[in-house]
Structure 1
């Protein structure tokens, strides 16, 4: 029955993609869907019911805006299935520590965001939503038809029941844990020969280097960048290496927000979500998205302000889709760290997301952080922690970093701690940053 549900959502998504030829008809359809969705949310979510009061659903575009802080603060009354924040966090953190991502709470899948903004977010997905998500993703991302044979290699920091849903039948799905050694990944890829390769751009860059050096001979039908901001230099390197266009998926805790069309343009998935634009600079077409996802009931996302900065495409996409076209997704550019190998032979490449996870797993009291690598053996960790918890938080961060280094087989660097205070300025904030030039011999990097 699950496969039937996925296939139905796949068919419905493909059908809808040809349904609208203009913005007006799309927006009229969205308005009806949102109004209907809000009626259910009012009944099932105490938080939204109180927040909205007696405001008219027809004026949903003016409802109060929430953000991650509000969602996490009111998590227990915002979700509609009675899942408590404390239990959800415990379940998600245990899954990350053990690398066993199968546990659920009842029939609800629990996930934990990567904490790009310095704090962790939880997401809840019901069985029905999980199946609908799988069908929509396959419809928008899969090369060719779902009836064809596909071998999907998916690299991410954490697996999930959500992702495993896409497998079955002629779809072979393999999760690649980013914490595993590169040599293991290369061996598995050589054996699998994926037709669809999905990974963060930092990993795609590593795989492209392996392809150029002859350690890989992959010829996937499609390559998709996920989870990190895609730097133009990385894009060019990856595309040149594999001889094809690099596609993107825009997804976060708040939903499956966008994907690229055949022309490589990112389109917001407006058959799933509505995006209102809060312009930062209208002349430059830069805005912050306010998202209303009218497909999720377990953890409703209504008028939710993201921290991302998007740049709207200046001219219509040649594909002709009326869905909002995005020129670029602004975000932190991830830096790779390099630590000396424990055995003294070469270097261990440490992905920024590993550092982020270690910091955020250390203490729930950390409200902001930055980690700067000044040398292979020296880190500076900036933490924003309330005074009573500061000494313990620093100890826990150091312990988490030590565990990470032990797992990866690299030497623990010297760590200096400083207090962090968020300041706006003209320099882009990077939570994880390497501040020294370093280009090790690829043969000496693990």
Structure 2
């Protein structure tokens, strides 16, 4: 099913022609309206008229999250403040918040891209969408909300928190679509069981999960527990919010980037060099239609690759592989690069373990020590101590073989790791405190 047939199935040459037209307009606009970009362009001796082809994108400067913080709050706006009808912002827990502005047209485009995303997953106007993403300055809740309303589906704006009530309302309202973080969906499942609710009595058929990294193993776990189709959605506040890319129900592999609005490239995260199609690196996005706060070559820090092979669903927009992690979330343990998602894959492939875990990094003397705490299921926990110790040793050996790093593994009792009603906190790096 398609929402915007003309745009979603546009031939590649027409799509790239549209991208170039929009890129040229964007470059002209930011050069004359955003002092930050004019300064960057002038430092490179670069003028808007120098951008003549899509391949010239590589000459443009990168934009990073710190640039948004340095220009806090409204320094990157490309329109007068009276034209900005909405402001979102990050929590700012690691410094100043990153502020993002939207014009009325930006909101309309966002709503339509989210409606387009919903349709790609199989959602229709007959569905009841249980939206457990947070509302407020976080873009997740309102992005999903506007998309569902634009499509004509019924939206339940439950937001985060009140997990017991959420489960009850899902059952009573007959919700058919669940939108939340993947880790929170598993918490909802546990809560439903604890309340004596039969999962089969729920009418859920589709889950749209994002806002945190998750593995294919976790997808299968969610689908098995809820008996739904679980699809991955991608977005980031700096670019738009949710609705930048999403999996389609046809393939359920790779997320379609809406290329009529976003120009994408993959770079080497260390050198900034563009990489060929299919190679893995850092995703960089240029906004082609954003009015209030357009961004040129924004470094997402997300690690993925582009899938140029046409999708069976008929959409011509490139897909990106499921995110493998973030370049800035990568742990370096005694010279070895480790992504939390790699550890998660090993844990979820091990019988008797649950998807609830934490990775604790600390420094003992001059050495970095990696400890993994993971919950076991009720059956395993009741086994003999010797059996648990064998399982711990097996995990240590498997992680060493596949990732090349020595770890400590601690199997903990069920329900002992704190659940999150938003993004799960998987990594606790105590080295910063030592």
Q: TM-score range by the shorter chain?
A: 0.5 to 0.7
Give the RMSD, CA atoms, in angstroms. Answer: 4.0
Change (3 A) 1:132 1:207: same
Q: Is the 8 A contact 1:152 1:196 kept in 2?
A: yes
- In structure 1, the gaps of 5 or more residues are 1-9, 84-104, 337-349, 353-371, 377-425, 429-433
Match of 2:7 in 1: 16
- SS where residue 38 of structure 1 aligns? helix
Question: How far off is 1:220 after superposition?
Answer: 2.4
Indicate whether 1:80 and 2:62 are aligned.
no
Q: Is the 8 A contact 2:264 2:283 kept in 1?
A: yes
Normalised to the residue count of structure 1, the TM-score between the two structures is: 0.62
Question: How far off is 1:315 after superposition?
Answer: 5.3
- SS where residue 292 of structure 1 aligns? strand
Normalised to the residue count of structure 2, the TM-score between the two structures is: 0.64
Aligned residues: 326
1:437 aligned to 399, 411, 423, which one? Answer: 411
Change (3 A) 1:286 1:300: same
- SS where residue 184 of structure 1 aligns? helix
What is the 5 A alignment of 1:198-347?
Answer: 198-210=179-191, 215=197, 216=199, 217-253=201-237, 254-255=239-240, 256-262=243-249, 263-265=251-253, 266-279=255-268, 285-313=279-307, 316-331=310-325, 333=340
Match of 1:91 in 2: none
Indicate whether 1:27 and 2:16 are aligned.
yes
Question: How far off is 1:435 after superposition?
Answer: 7.5
Query: 1 CA distance for matches of 2:133 and 2:28?
Result: 36
Match of 2:105 in 1: 128
Question: How far off is 1:225 after superposition?
Answer: 0.7
Q: Deviations over 1:404-432 (max 9, x none)?
A: xxxxxxxxxxxxxxxxxxxxxx899xxxx
Match of 1:71 in 2: 68
Match of 1:171 in 2: 153
Q: Deviations over 1:120-152 (max 9, x none)?
A: 422222222112111111122135575x33321
Change (3 A) 1:151 1:17: same
Query: 1 CA distance for matches of 2:404 and 2:291?
Result: 38
